[in-house]
A and B are shown apart, each in its own frame.
Chain A
Amino acid sequence: DQQVKQNSPSLSVQEGRISILNCDYTNSMFDYFLWYKKYPAEGPTFLISISSIKDKNEDGRFTVFLNKSAKHLSLHIVPSQPGDSAVYFCAAQNTDKLIFGTGTRLQVFP
């Protein structure tokens, strides 16, 4: 049973617009969440994280929002750039393990 779910397998956004990637989780004990980005033929790389004591964390063009009551987090990319085209994985921490979602493939077109 998937404890971390990314229900949109793909997303297509025009360059310069906002990309919003969504993630839902089922375990209210999760207290730390991360987003990883993956290019083809490479391993995932860490992008941004958020602790459950916060509801927002921002790093340049990337902002992660956490809604604990809804068990939902989202990643906003503004403005989107063609180099952002990749697969994005949401992950939740469970003790010292990370539980990953299935990923969302983002394509940013000119």
Chain B
Amino acid sequence: DARVTQTPRHKVTEMGQEVTMRCQPILGHNTVFWYRQTMMQGLELLAYFRNRAPLDDSGMPKDRFSAEMPDATLATLKIQPSEPRDSAVYFCASGSIPDGLAGVADTQYFGPGTRLTVL
């Protein structure tokens, strides 16, 4: 049963500390998305990658957030320094979008999320 995995599931840290969240997409999927869930904004897209290349990170606060895909099996989202307003649930999702077919978004498969609390 293929699924997206995320670690850690929960993270409590103090303001100013670095936080790294990890995601393993479903094998064979070529697109990875990072979302943040808040009560006010719902699911906000932070960044996404296709074939490991960053396509859009306009949803991320650039000064403190960074997203990378060191290889096809690992995506990371890093916050440095973290702030209390970053407290949220962060979801990773993966999907399969045929190369060369822009504008086609297959259904996305979400991981269980990382609940981040910054004190």
In-complex Cβ contact of A96 among B43, B102, B109 (8 A): B102
Please measure, in the bound complex, the distance between the C-alpha atom of A100 and the C-alpha atom of B59, giving whole angstroms.
13
Q: Interface digits, B83-95 against A, CB 8 Å rule (1 contact, 0 not)?
A: 0000000010100
Sampled A-B contacts (9; CB under 8 Å):
A2-B41, A32-B105, A41-B112, A43-B113, A46-B109, A98-B105, A100-B44, A102-B39, A102-B40
Please measure, in the bound complex, the distance between the C-alpha atom of A100 and the C-alpha atom of B35, giving whole angstroms.
10
* Minimum distance in angstroms from A69 CB to a CB of chain B: 23
B72 interface residue per 8 A CB criterion: no
Q: Interface digits, B1-44 against A, CB 8 Å rule (1 contact, 0 not)?
A: 00010000000000000000000000000010101000111111
Q: Interface digits, B73-89 against A, CB 8 Å rule (1 contact, 0 not)?
A: 00000000000000000
| 20 more A-B residue pairs beyond the given contacts A44-B110, A95-B103, with a C-beta to C-beta distance below 8 A | A34-B107, A41-B113, A44-B43, A44-B91, A91-B43, A93-B103, A93-B105, A96-B103, A96-B105, A97-B48, A97-B56, A97-B105, A98-B33, A98-B105, A100-B35, A100-B43, A100-B45, A102-B39, A102-B41, A102-B42
Which residues of chain B in 91-119 are interfacial with respect to chain A, using CB atoms and an 8 Å cutoff? 91, 93, 97, 102-105, 107-113
In-complex Cβ contact of A95 among B4, B44, B102 (8 A): B102
Which A residues are in CB contact (< 8 Å) with B104? 96
A74 interface residue per 8 A CB criterion: no
A residues apposed to B, CB below 8 Å: 2, 6, 32, 34, 36, 41-46, 49, 89, 91, 93, 95-103
User: Chain A residue with minimal CB distance to B39?
Assistant: A102
Closest 10 CB pairs of A and B: A43-B110, A102-B42, A100-B43, A46-B107, A96-B105, A93-B105, A44-B110, A100-B42, A43-B111, A43-B112
Which B residues are in CB contact (< 8 Å) with A100? 35, 42-45
* Minimum distance in angstroms from B60 CB to a CB of chain A: 13
Please measure, in the bound complex, the distance between the C-alpha atom of A49 and the C-alpha atom of B107, giving whole angstroms.
9
Which A residues are in CB contact (< 8 Å) with B40? 102
Does A45 lie within 8 Å of B110, measured CB to CB?
yes
In-complex Cβ contact of A98 among B102, B108, B109, B113 (8 A): B108
